Structures are given as C-alpha cells and as structure tokens.
Amino acid sequence: MSVTDEELLLASRADADRFGELFDRHFATIYRYLHRRVGSDLADELGAETFVRAFQHRDSYDPQRAPVRAWLFGIATNLVRRHHRSEHRRLAAYAKAPFDRFQDEGTAAIDTRVSADALSATLGCSLATMRSQDRDVLLLIAWADLTYAEVAAALGTPIGTVRSRLARARQHIRRDLPDVNDWSAENPTPAAGGTKGTVLHG
C-alpha cells in the first residue's frame, strides 16, 4: 500500500530525507500553478522556496486542517502575494498575447481575431483589478484544480468565505466581460455587446 502525503510529511519530522519524496510528487504541479501566475523566472524561484518553507514549517502542519497538496498550494499562494508586481506583469503579458486558443488558425476571420484579442486584454485587466483575495480563490480553482474545500484549507478560511470570494470574482469578470458566457471554442465572437477592449499596461 502506498504511503499517503500526510504520512510522508509526518514521517519527515523524524527522518528529514523523506521530505524529498513529497518534492518528487508535487513539485511539477506546484510549478505549473506558479508558472501560470508569475511566469517562468519567478516560478523557478518560488517553486523551490515553496518546498523549503514547507520543510521548515513541517512541524506546524496539521493533517486535520488541510491535505498536504492544499497546504503546499497555500504556501505557494502566500509567496505569490509578495510578488504582486510580477503577477501583474504576467497578467499584462497574457493580455497582450493573441488569444489563439479560441480560433482555428487557418480560418479565423480578422474581426474574430480582433475580438479575441480584445477579450484577452479585458480579461487580463479584470484579473489585475480584482481584489487579491478573490483572485487567489479563483485562480486556485481554475489553475490549480483545487476543490472548494481544498481552497478553504489552503487559505485557512471557512468554505463559505471561499464560495463568496469566488462569486465576487466571477461577478467582477462578468462585469468587465458581460457576454462571457457566449464565448466558446466554436463561437469565439460574442453574440452581442463585444468586449471593452481595455488595455492592461504592464
């Protein structure tokens, strides 16, 4: 029977070398999340720092409060908060990049491309202007694939707070992108209204 993350972490209190197994299990996942949030340069640094901090604080880890995976995402998210300027630069980079994922390269019409790029810019701006607590919840769900309960454990907040922050974050995006629900892979141009096309400056 394989050892659970929680058992490994508790074992690492007595035998520090066992913490390396946790690194092997979770580094790539944490890195991908950090890479999406702050870009590759800082993700390299924060990915390593996440595990160093987890190792240093392993004595205070309580398996009753959070699974190890959520705990690690909590540490990573706390580290991202200290680099909010880098995160904003990353969002600006996303906003400036063409939103090609919605279009078929060969057939996309010019107006579709323009709308998709405008949506990208608005989405970046919307995320950057959102309250950081709301953004953390939204991005832990969207980019780290955590459940509500895991987000609550990662951030040390009640699950009700997670729900309300997520609702606020969704509302914020919907306010900036009123026709967000009309977007799909097949229909990259909103039916009506269009995006605001706000430009986010890094």
Per CB under 8 A, residues contacting other proteins are 16-17, 19-20, 23, 27-28, 31-33, 35-36, 40, 43-44, 47-49, 51-53, 55-57, 59-62, 71, 74-75, 78, 81-82, 94, 99, 101-102, 120, 123, 127, 132-133, 138-139, 141-143, 155-158, 161, 169-170, 173-174, 180-181, 183-185
C-beta closer to other proteins: residue 110 or 168: 168
C-beta closer to other proteins: residue 53 or 196: 53
Cα 9 to Cα 55: distance, rounded to the nearest angstrom? 9
Q: How much of the chain is helix, strand and coil, in % rounded to 5?
A: 70, 0, 30
Cα 34 to Cα 9: distance, rounded to the nearest angstrom? 22
C-beta closer to other proteins: residue 62 or 107: 62
**Rounded least distance, CB 1 to other proteins, Å:** 26
CB within 8 Å of 154: residues ≥ 6 apart = 66, 70, 71, 73, 74, 77, 140, 146
